[in-house]
Structures are given as structure tokens and as C-alpha cells.
């Protein structure tokens, strides 16, 4: 097996993970770097491999090592994985190492953690008259209870939702009809029909 036969694999890995990783092909027999792609570490072909950081490469040893931590000279932290490529006799012929720079991922993790601050309640002074918020909460709560999408709601379901919206005061708000129709994904005429049926049912209720 020749190093040039493995070169397309190294190039493909580097292209996939660029610019966050370097890929290195080592020759364990000479303990030298054979090829390197996207050299974050500044190494070049012919430089020492320093594979002593891995366990002893042997016929009975593992073929994949890691992920294990490494650090560049400028302080950047890496996550590394090494894979042993064996010849026909089962002896280590080459070692592929993929070293991923964790900087971008650590920064993204810190950013996401900052956005995970506890959410406080909505200020009543700002939202007590926001009937659209109530509309969304009522519809979303109902479809969660039923385990269906809005498109799959039956006529009885829509009447039940309208009953909740009416009790919450949404239907008495100005310009609520177009918004309710959009939320239920029906036409205005269909909504007016449902509202008529809802009123009839309410009038017929002896309670």
C-alpha cells in the first residue's frame, strides 16, 4: 500500500471539515509525517510524527484511538482521532490523524448557554391586552392536547376552540375574526358559520 492511495481520503476529510480541522498521514515505521492537509499545527511532510502519544502500535492493538485532547502552541484546544491503516500482514502501515480545532464550537456553546437564561413572565402592563398572544396560546394548547395539527381539527374541535377563545375574550376583540380564521386555517365565511352554531348552542343551553 502506498501513501498516494490514501491521499484522496485525507483530502476529502480535510475538505469536509475545513477550516476547523487538519488531517495528517503518518508513517509509523519512520515516525514521520507523510502528508498533511490544512496544517493547523504548522507541520509539513517529513516532520517528526511523535506518535509516542498513542499506545504502542502492534498487531493486537486497537485500530482507532480517541477522541483525545491536544493543544496547539497558541493555546487552541483540539479533539483528535487517530486510525491505524494496516497492510496485508496486519502490521501498521500508516496512521491517519484528524485534529479538530474546538475554538469555534466552544464559542458557540458559550453563546447558546448565554441565551439559555431563565425566561421571566411577560410584563402584564405590556401584554394584558394582547389578545393575539391569547389566541395563539389557546390554539396551540388545544392541538397539543388532541395530538393533531390545526389542519386535522374536526368541526367539533373547532367549535371547542372557539368556545375557549370566547371565554378568554378573544372573540370580542376588534378585528379578531381574520386572525382567528388564519389561526384555524379556515375561511372567514366558514368561521362565521361556526360562530353562528356556537351562539345557537349557547342559547340552547338551559344553564
> What is the sign, positive or negative, of the torsion defined by CA atoms of 135, 138, 142, 145?
positive
Where do the domains of the chain lie, and which CATH numbers do they carry? 3-106 (3.30.450.20), 124-201 (no CATH)
In the predicted structure, residue 58 carries a pLDDT above the cut 70: no
Question: What confidence tier does 206 reach under pLDDT thresholds 50, 70, 90?
Answer: low
Q: 93-107, 130-144, 176-190, 191-205 — which is least confidently predicted?
A: 191-205
- Separation of alpha carbons 19 and 63, rounded Å: 26
Q: What is the pLDDT of residues 118-159, one digit of tens each?
A: 655 545 444 445 788 889 889 999 999 988 899 899 999 999
Amino acid at each position: 500500500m502506498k501513501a498516494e492511495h490514501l491521499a484522496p481520503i485525507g483530502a476529502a476529510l480535510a475538505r469536509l471539515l475545513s477550516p476547523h480541522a487538519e488531517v495528517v498521514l503518518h508513517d509509523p515505521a519512520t515516525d514521520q509525517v507523510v502528508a498533511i492537509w490544512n496544517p493547523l499545527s504548522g507541520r509539513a511532510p517529513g516532520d517528526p510524527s511523535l506518535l509516542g502519544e498513542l499506545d504502542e502500535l502492534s498487531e493486537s492493538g486497537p485500530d482507532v484511538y480517541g477522541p483525545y485532547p491536544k493543544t496547539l502552541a497558541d493555546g487552541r484546544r483540539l479533539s483528535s482521532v487517530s486510525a491505524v491503516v494496516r497492510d496485508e500482514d496486519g502490521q501498521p502501515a500508516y496512521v491517519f490523524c484528524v485534529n479538530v480545532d474546538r475554538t469555534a464550537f466552544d464559542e458557540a456553546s458559550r453563546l447558546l448557554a448565554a441565551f439559555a437564561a431563565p425566561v421571566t413572565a411577560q410584563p402584564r402592563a405590556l401584554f394584558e391586552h394582547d389578545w393575539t398572544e391569547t389566541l395563539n396560546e389557546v390554539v396551540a394548547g388545544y392541538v397539543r392536547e388532541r395530538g393533531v395539527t390545526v389542519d386535522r381539527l374536526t368541526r367539533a374541535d373547532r367549535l371547542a376552540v372557539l368556545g375557549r377563545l370566547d371565554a378568554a375574550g378573544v372573540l370580542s376583540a376588534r378585528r379578531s375574526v381574520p386572525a382567528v380564521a388564519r389561526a384555524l386555517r379556515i375561511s372567514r365565511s366558514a368561521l362565521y358559520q361556526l360562530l353562528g352554531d356556537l351562539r345557537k348552542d349557547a342559547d340552547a343551553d338551559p344553564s
